[in-house]
Structure 1
Amino acid sequence: MHGASSDRPALARGAGQRLLVVAGHPEVAELLSTTMELAGYRTVTVAAAADGVARLTRERFDLVIVDATLPDVTELGAARPALARRPPVLLLTDYESLGQIVPELGLGERDYVTKPFRVADVLARVQVLLRGTGAGPARGGALSYRDLVLDDTLCEARRGARALGLTPAEYRLLRHLLVNAHRVLSKEQIGRYVWGDHRGDNAIEQLVSRLRRKVDRDAPGLIHTRRGFGYWLGRADVEA
């Protein structure tokens, strides 16, 4: 059961960011473009990955939403070296094909929503990805969860009045956990976000352990382990 919305980082509406929607089914493309426009984004819709690559080489987009079941979807991954800017990508994918398709797509930071998807989930993941790139609406440079505050302007983190003194890797990990509050992140997801590749489990466990000692010292624990799955941030009495 999820907790009250006041315990989660607020998800702001769009502020005119440009989104590229790559979807072959007209109904899906229409649903996504209409929803995103109503939420405050500007959208461009194409029906094939090849057309998406062509638009990405000519124009600037803040984020790409792509149906990962398109037959030519791997062209997006193949185009990565030629792109001057690599926007984050949100995948709409069947659960069964997730493990095969995610490693092949590498525009920028990645996230996914499994099909059939809920519009609310798509909007939430878009906001998380845009917040990670700085393309979302400014909120004073700070992200927060209860008494935990991360200030991107100063690159500082605090728990209440206590400065945490994080290393760059610890800071990136905390940021990733914070913008994904109440969502379990796998070790692979954490490794790719923090270091750009997947490190050994021991390296990630040590990093999480160091961060937990700093964040949860003398305060209720916010960083938790879901054994066999990964780690999540939130209140202990609110399930991930």
Structure 2
Amino acid sequence: MKILLVEDEPPLASFVKKGFAHEGYDLTVAYDGRTGWSLYEQQPYDLVILDVNLPYVNGVELCRRIRAHSRLVPVLLLTALDSLDDKEAGFAAGADDYLVKPFEFRELLMRARALTQRYAAASGERRELRMADLVLDLDAKTVARAGQRIALTTREYSLLEHLLRNRGRVVSRVDIAERVWDLDFDTTTNVIDVYVSYLRKKLDRDFSPKLIHTVVGMGYVMREE
């Protein structure tokens, strides 16, 4: 699941990002409403989480823009404002749920899962990422190639999802470190290369065409060749 979090408090944003990363989700953070809208326009997300009090464009207005663009993405608002008037404004803007700060991450996670499952059920479609004969099921958290189920660890699954969501685009090791490992890139470690090697053995070694490719000096790309 790919999530956009727009939150101007770095400690809270870091806390939420680490929590979702631990659960195997890919979460992108924007620290103001203007950047959040720009990121939203660049690619699809499975869930958008918005703080209400944001610089430049507040969360309620950003929610309204997202709803004008699409009814197919769930939006959850985070705020310290818990009056009925505040909640009414959020729901009127198109929000699906409303969580008051402070909150426990477990509650946020449960609400996020409930919203995405509800939208998936309403659409009547399974959420999948496909490339050639490779299928990653975002709901069941499974991977198969040529109809053969392939067992992946949580980290391998997250890495594959990130690469598939960026298919055809070269993804740098720094980008992978930040989006999949949630850490500052350490040039002395080869952990990313090791995990890419794990994926190649499981997904490419016994199948054709090869899907995971190295672009020397730049990173990795998924494409059919």
TM-score normalized by the length of structure 2: 0.50
TM-score (norm 1): 0.47
